[in-house]
Structure 1
Amino acid sequence: MMTRPASVPDSGATEKQRPQSPGVFLMSDSFETGGSERQFSTLAMSLDRSAFRVSIGCIQKKGAFLDSLGDVGLCDVPVFPLGGSLYKLESWKTRARLARHLRQNAIDIAHAFDFYTNLTLIPAARWARVPVVIGSQRQLGDLLTRAQFKAQLLALRLADAVVCNSRAAADGLCAAGLPRHKTVVIGNGMPPEVFAPTEPAIPRVPGVLRVGMIARMNTRSKNHSSLLRAFAQLQKEMPTSELLLAGDGPFRAELEREAEELGIAQNVRFLGDRRDVPAVLASLDVSVLPSVSESLSNSIIESMAQGIPVVAARVGGNVELISEDRGILVGVGDDNVLAGALGRLLKDEALRKSMGGNARSFAHENFTIAKMRQQHEDLYLRLLERKISNRRLPGYRR
């Protein structure tokens, strides 16, 4: 663990004028119930308040995680709306206002957490002469347009470091031209309740085996349709099996129609958004994620933490999570192979227990909040110490 440096003075500022604890500003697009937003909230709530002055900001002040942040004193959340565009004049006015906010609050470390804040906070922090500027890559980038990807890459080049939640995400940036030394891989952190044994949210029924998926229904990249088709095949062999889908979004009605058309609606339950994810997972025998793109899936880690074996598409960070003794990887969009993998696990209780136990141990060793928080704090202090050393600031007390 690194020792804590004092806050970095601006040129001409005195120690008396500037607080001694480094100021950390974290920024997210919103506080919706997605994976990135969850990790943002977890980090913001867990950072050591005796070592850092923690504050947050957003582009859109909405989402379920706002309440949790308020519970730990992060109630004052300034909003920096982009006005519908990342590139028009209104967005540059927003960046200027954000830069003023950073200066006025003596921010030493600015950390952007997603695509939109990479393009907003990083340039604003450079204008404000924030000593340490950090970007994030929490997806593979393959779902961005070419223009979006190039714009983000330009912004990330301005950062001192880019936190990636998987090696796959880091490799993608480096292949596009970002210097390798700027990337830092820090995995997601899960709260203790994710690992705790819990009662099933949906009571178990003797003789009924369940497959489930935890994912928002706001993007086709999660590939719910492939799972529905695979489950329709599975139903022919295992007609009493059930499929539970937790999550909501604009594509839900379309997916419900697909289930009707496939003749499986009576065995598919749409659960909507759930805050009791561990209890939902405890209702399952197998968890599945057939996404076409994933960096590091919270859904997979949460499933592993509950000891549930996972079948997932062989993409991105999924390969880093799932080995042959912890689950099964399948090709993207291969409905037949997906159905076969689900059937294999549902028919073999011993295999499910073995894979589930290995998965739980792996998740507990690698994806706790404590580990994620410590890695971020060490990164913040290491970069800040480097800036202090490089500046040789007069009057700075080590």
Structure 2
Amino acid sequence: MNAPLPRLLPDDAAEDKRLRICFPFSGDSIGGSHISVRGLMEHLDPALYRPIVVTEVPGGMIASFFAGHERMDDPGARGLFVPGEAFTLRKFARTLTGVLPRARFLRRQRIDIVHVNDGRSSANWALAARMAGARLIWHHRGDPNALGLRFLAPALAHRVLAVSSFALPPAGIWSARGRSSVVHSPFDISLEVDRAKARDALVRELGVAPETLLLGYFGAFVPRKRPLLFVDMIARLKAMTGRPVMGLMFGEARVPAMDAALRKRIGDRGVDDQLRLMGYRTPGPFWIAACDQLVVPAVGEPFGRTLVEAMLVGTPIVAARSGGNIEALEGGIGILVEPDDADALARACGNLGDARAMALAAQADARSRFSEAAHCAKVSAIYEALRP
């Protein structure tokens, strides 16, 4: 690897001892990583740290989401990725045209740490960070077998943060496992929602009978989250119970093909009257609280944000026994069923009954494990360990 380019030090460098931390984001859709980073930024000590968000799309959704925080435009944006495309080493090679502009930007802004939070941003910024002499934190929120984590992080990352034990890099000769830590995503543990009022509002909007069982799916419509399996589960449950059932899918498809497949599956299973596509809505916890149950059919999910939000607002959870779901619901504070089994999901949802005690235990557990303050303390300790 080439030697780091020299750092530029303006006259005020000696006066500002704060660590300058760059949070670059690729694309322009909001997800759990953006929510986590904003929560972290709001808890960082401003006397010690200066966080700077860098976005690919000026004036876009991500830029608006971080309004009120210091933000700059990505100098190397080239529109190289299409949402929904898998990341490959070939696609990483295509990012090389943006490396030098980004490295110059990092030197010019005197960035100490580049903290990347998704695969595309890691591909875009990892090499530039090393060329600029900045420390690189690779925050992994995805599949532990992701190519970038397996092949690039060992060479480029100073530290890897994983959102769960499941998401840690696989051990091996070429691995960043020895430089990795588990840091659970942060949440506002003071979150409170009147579930009865939220449910009443949702019932009125839907125009359904009050006794209808409202089952919520929350998240992007991507294969890993199993949106088609949720449709299958609603169809199975419709045949199992005499109680009216309504499946509510909060989220959006990232590619047209999934949207078409989802609508076709709804028609094929004959659940047009038992399933509603609700779109992306905010604040998410309000709508989670409005549902009788959160259903998480996702397989290989590192650590689902909506799952913890459901714990915090007291909504019972039925989830696949897979990935980070197991870690989040350890100790019997949710119902776990076999992955990719629509019948098992339907039976669990139909037989859950009064899960008040389980939901209260889940709420207390989430408040003890997933606070923004605890997350910030762990990340700040890592920043200090990397301080130049």
The TM-score normalised by the length of structure 1 is: 0.83
The Cα of 1:284 is off from its aligned counterpart by 1.1
Are 1:329 and 2:325 counterparts? no
**Residues 150 and 175, structure 2, Cα contact 8 Å, conserved in 1:** no
Of the three residues 248, 258, 282, the one matched with 2:289 is 282
**Residues 286 and 342, structure 1, Cα contact 8 Å, conserved in 2:** yes
C-alpha separation in 2, matches of 1:268 and 1:44: 38
Percent of aligned pairs sharing the same letter: 24
C-alpha separation in 2, matches of 1:341 and 1:36: 30
What does 1:154-303 correspond to in 2, within 5 Å?
154-170=152-168, 172-174=169-171, 177-191=174-188, 194-197=191-194, 199-200=197-198, 201-203=201-203, 205-217=209-221, 219-239=222-242, 240-249=244-253, 250=256, 251-303=258-310
The Cα of 1:253 is off from its aligned counterpart by 4.1
Larger deviation, residues 278-287 vs 246-255: 246-255
The Cα of 1:28 is off from its aligned counterpart by 1.9
The Cα of 1:259 is off from its aligned counterpart by 1.8
- What code does the residue aligned with 2:155 have? R
What does 1:329-368 correspond to in 2, within 5 Å?
329-345=336-352, 348-349=353-354, 352-368=355-371
**Residues 213 and 292, structure 2, Cα contact 8 Å, conserved in 1:** yes
What does 1:139-150 correspond to in 2, within 5 Å?
139-142=142-145, 144=146, 149=147
Match of 2:85 in 1: none
C-alpha separation in 1, matches of 2:225 and 2:173: 24
**Partner deviation per Cα, 1:3-30 (whole Å, 9 max, x = no partner):** xxxxxxx789699644321111111223
**Partner deviation per Cα, 1:219-252 (whole Å, 9 max, x = no partner):** 2221111121122111123241211110112323
C-alpha separation in 1, matches of 2:115 and 2:249: 33
Match of 1:34 in 2: 31
Match of 1:3 in 2: none
**Residues 162 and 183, structure 1, Cα contact 8 Å, conserved in 2:** yes
C-alpha separation in 2, matches of 1:189 and 1:151: 22
The Cα of 1:155 is off from its aligned counterpart by 3.5
- What code does the residue aligned with 1:124 have? A
C-alpha separation in 1, matches of 2:8 and 2:185: 39
The Cα of 1:48 is off from its aligned counterpart by 2.6
**Partner deviation per Cα, 1:249-274 (whole Å, 9 max, x = no partner):** 23234323322221221121211010
Larger deviation, residues 225-234 vs 30-39: 30-39
The Cα of 1:150 is off from its aligned counterpart by 5.6
Instruction: Report the secondary structure of 2:290's partner residue.
Output: coil
Of the three residues 59, 73, 77, the one matched with 2:73 is 77
Of the three residues 102, 105, 112, the one matched with 2:106 is 102
- What code does the residue aligned with 1:69 have? F
**Which structure 2 residue ranges, 5 or more long, are not aligned?**
1-5, 82-89
- What code does the residue aligned with 2:182 have? V
Instruction: Report the secondary structure of 1:295's partner residue.
Output: coil
**Residues 81 and 91, structure 1, Cα contact 8 Å, conserved in 2:** no
C-alpha separation in 2, matches of 1:62 and 1:154: 31
Instruction: Report the secondary structure of 1:162's partner residue.
Output: strand
**Residues 58 and 78, structure 1, Cα contact 8 Å, conserved in 2:** yes
> Residue 46 and residue 176 in structure 1: after superposition, are their counterparts in 2 closer, same or farther (change >3 A)?
farther
C-alpha separation in 1, matches of 2:92 and 2:329: 43
Match of 1:396 in 2: none
- What code does the residue aligned with 1:100 have? R
Larger deviation, residues 289-298 vs 151-160: 151-160
Larger deviation, residues 207-216 vs 249-258: 249-258
Instruction: Report the secondary structure of 1:203's partner residue.
Output: helix
C-alpha separation in 2, matches of 1:285 and 1:269: 15
C-alpha separation in 2, matches of 1:54 and 1:292: 34
Instruction: Report the secondary structure of 1:188's partner residue.
Output: coil
**Residues 27 and 58, structure 1, Cα contact 8 Å, conserved in 2:** yes
**Residues 215 and 246, structure 2, Cα contact 8 Å, conserved in 1:** yes
Match of 1:5 in 2: none
Aligned length: 363
> Residue 156 and residue 371 in structure 1: after superposition, are their counterparts in 2 closer, same or farther (change >3 A)?
same
Match of 1:114 in 2: 118
Of the three residues 89, 92, 115, the one matched with 2:96 is 92
**Partner deviation per Cα, 1:172-226 (whole Å, 9 max, x = no partner):** 4335842433001111112356444453151374322211110112x22211111
Match of 1:43 in 2: 40
The Cα of 1:296 is off from its aligned counterpart by 0.6
**Residues 247 and 273, structure 1, Cα contact 8 Å, conserved in 2:** yes
Are 1:315 and 2:319 counterparts? no
**Which structure 1 residue ranges, 5 or more long, are not aligned?**
1-9, 389-398
Instruction: Report the secondary structure of 2:70's partner residue.
Output: coil
- What code does the residue aligned with 1:290 have? P
**Partner deviation per Cα, 1:107-164 (whole Å, 9 max, x = no partner):** 111111111222222211111112x22112111244x5xxxx1675224432110111
- What code does the residue aligned with 2:48 have? A
Of the three residues 130, 133, 136, the one matched with 1:133 is 136
C-alpha separation in 2, matches of 1:65 and 1:73: 12
The TM-score normalised by the length of structure 2 is: 0.85
Are 1:22 and 2:19 counterparts? yes
